[in-house]
Structure 1
Amino acid sequence: MRAAVMQGLHRPLTIETLPDPTPAEGELVVQVGRCGICGSDLHMTEDAAYGQGAGSVLGHEFAGEVVALGRGVEGLALGDRVAVSPLVSCGHCPACRAGNVSWCDTFGLQGGGYAEYALTRPNQCVRLPGSASLADGAIIEPLAVALHGVAMSGLTIGDKVLVLGAGPIGLAVAFWARRRGAGRVVVQDLAEWQRDRALAMGAHDFVVDAQDPVGAAGRALGGKADVVFECVGVPGLIEQAVQQVRARGSIVLLGLCTRPDTFNSFAMLSKEVRLITSAFFTAQEFVAALDALDRGAVEPRLLVTETIALAATPDVFESLRRRTHQCKVLIDPQG
């Protein structure tokens, strides 16, 4: 099979031919139909903290068709179209049975979507309804990540919500916050690229003001935010969020940051701000993201800005290191 393969940190991906995967007992093979390029994929090629290196095949946002079943696999059949959760777990422990798969003792993360075929397990697969395309299946993972953050936040109807960062996660947070009854949703970014997309996905306003980000957000919200979602993952944004949230409000960290950060804990303590971290999602939230699409939500599909062939992946991947109009690029490994 063809795959886009890491050559090491700070080196471009290359297209290589690898052996087709063969499922062992309890495994299955998916012919990948669509796979999203995630910002964390870019980070994995830049930062050793993610544990990826030469020979790795990235891609954790993918959907496709079941083409091979290992011995003992039940509940799926050849030809089923599935969205694949990248959260690897045993599937039968108490945490797994409750849907909290990231707390399984055998928890791990799966890649492999930047290829024509990928191995996975049946407990990671959710069948796609007839209303959902393979592209829909590939955006379920970021939608579920955002939904988990909103669920963790304790957001209530009428709340003022500030989203820092207009990437796919930030835009998906705006979608869910508006859908769950936020009274006002403002997205704040350093560039205007995603203004129209943010407004179409549910934001009431979009703010760009490098000179006075705190004041600009306050004016757009009509006061301090009840909840601030940090969806970027760069040092300094926690401290900014402390200034932007109301007393006894909440800050939810969704952005991945592997660099040390500092902030004034006294300012946070004096306002009794809740600092909440949000990682991954539950099995129920993964299904809920698909259900939203199945029930007619069109806004999340606006995340997708381009679909490319596998052969174009190395060049497009490198181009995404620079901020552009792109939001979510999908790979079609069969194209």
Structure 2
Amino acid sequence: MKAAVMQGLHKPLAVEAVDDPAPEAGQVVLKVGRCGICGSDLHMTEDEAFGVSAGDILGHEFAGEVVEAASGVSALKPGDLVSVIPIRGCGQCESCKAGEPAWCSQMMLQGGGYAEFAATMEHQCVKLPDGLSLSDGAIIEPVAVALHGVNLSGLQRGDKVLVLGAGPIGLATAFWARHFGAGEVVVQDIADWQESRAMEMGASRFIVDKHDPVGAAERALGGKADIVFECVGVPGLIAQAVDQVRVKGTVLVLGLCTKPDSFVPFTALSKEVRIQTSAFFTVQEYQASLDVLEKGAAEPRTLVTDTIALGDVPMRFEALKQRTHDCKVLIKPGE
């Protein structure tokens, strides 16, 4: 099969012919239908902290068609369309049974979506109901990441919400905040490229002010935010979020930052600000994200700005390392 293969840190991906996946007991092989290019994928090729190396095949936001089932598979058969929960746990421990495979001692992040075929465990697959497409299946993961953050934030109806960053996670966070009844949802970014998309996703205002981001947000919200969602992962933004949130408010950190950062603890302490981090999602939140699409929510589909062939991945992947007008780019490996 063909796959976009990692060549090493700081090097472009390359499309190569590699061996087809051989399923182990309990696994299925999928013909990958769609796979999203995630911001964390971009980080993985630039930062050794993620532990990926030459020869690895990235891609954890994917959906496809079952083409082969190994021994021990009972609920899936060839022809089934599924979305893949990319967090692989043992399936037997208390964390896995509770729907939290991220905290399994054997947890690993499932990759392999940048290829024509991929093998995965049956228990990681969620069947796509009639009416949902493979593209829908590929955007469930980032939507679930945002849902997990909103759930951890303790958001209440009527809350004033500020979302820092208009990437896929930030926009999906705006969607869920509005879905759960936030009174105001302001999205703040350093460029206005995603303004119309943010408004479609549920934002009430979109602001850009590089010179006075704290004041701009306060003016847009009519006061300090009850909750600030940091969805960028750039040093300095946690400190900014602390300035932007009200007394006893919450800063919810979704941004993936692997660089050293700092803030003045007294600033947060003096307001009794709660700083909560968020990673991954639960199986229940993954299912809820699928359910909201099945029930007719069109907003998450707005995240997708382009669908490209596997051969276009190396060049587009490098381009996405710089800010572009794209939001979520999907790969269609069969083309």
Once the 2 structures are TM-superposed, how far is the Cα of residue 92 of structure 1 from its aligned partner?
Answer: 2.0
Structure 2 residues not aligned, in runs of 5+: none
Partner of 1:122: 122
Give distance in 1, aligned partners of 2:53 and 2:97: 33
Partner of 2:77: 77
Partner of 2:205: 205
Post-superposition Cα deviations, 1:52-101, rounded to whole Å, max 9, x if no partner, equal: 11111000000000111111112111111000011001112221111111
Post-superposition Cα deviations, 1:141-187, rounded to whole Å, max 9, x if no partner, equal: 00000000000000000000000000000000000000000000000
Partner of 1:313: 313
Partner of 2:100: 100
TM-score (norm 2): 0.99
Structure 1 residues not aligned, in runs of 5+: none
Give distance in 2, aligned partners of 1:44 and 1:134: 25
Give distance in 2, aligned partners of 1:202 and 1:326: 19
Give distance in 1, aligned partners of 2:54 and 2:94: 36
Once the 2 structures are TM-superposed, how far is the Cα of residue 229 of structure 1 from its aligned partner?
Answer: 0.3
Once the 2 structures are TM-superposed, how far is the Cα of residue 50 of structure 1 from its aligned partner?
Answer: 0.8
Structure 2 SS opposite 1:257? coil
Identity, % of aligned positions: 66
After superposition, where does 1:269-288 map in structure 2 within 5 Å? 269-288=269-288
Partner of 2:32: 32
Q: Which amino acid aligns with 2:140?
A: I
After superposition, where does 1:243-322 map in structure 2 within 5 Å? 243-322=243-322
Structure 2 SS opposite 1:259? coil
Partner of 1:22: 22
Q: Which amino acid aligns with 1:66?
A: V
Give distance in 2, aligned partners of 1:296 and 1:25: 36
Q: Give aligned pairs, total.
A: 335
TM-score (norm 1): 0.99
After superposition, where does 1:48-197 map in structure 2 within 5 Å? 48-197=48-197
Partner of 1:235: 235
The two structures, once aligned, show a CA RMSD in angstroms of: 0.6
Q: Which amino acid aligns with 2:29?
A: V
Give distance in 2, aligned partners of 1:206 and 1:150: 19
Once the 2 structures are TM-superposed, how far is the Cα of residue 106 of structure 1 from its aligned partner?
Answer: 1.2
Give distance in 2, aligned partners of 1:58 and 1:318: 14
Give distance in 1, aligned partners of 2:289 and 2:181: 17
Post-superposition Cα deviations, 1:107-126, rounded to whole Å, max 9, x if no partner, equal: 11111000000110011100
Question: What stretches of structure 1 move > 6 A for 4+ residues in a row?
Answer: none
Once the 2 structures are TM-superposed, how far is the Cα of residue 28 of structure 1 from its aligned partner?
Answer: 1.1
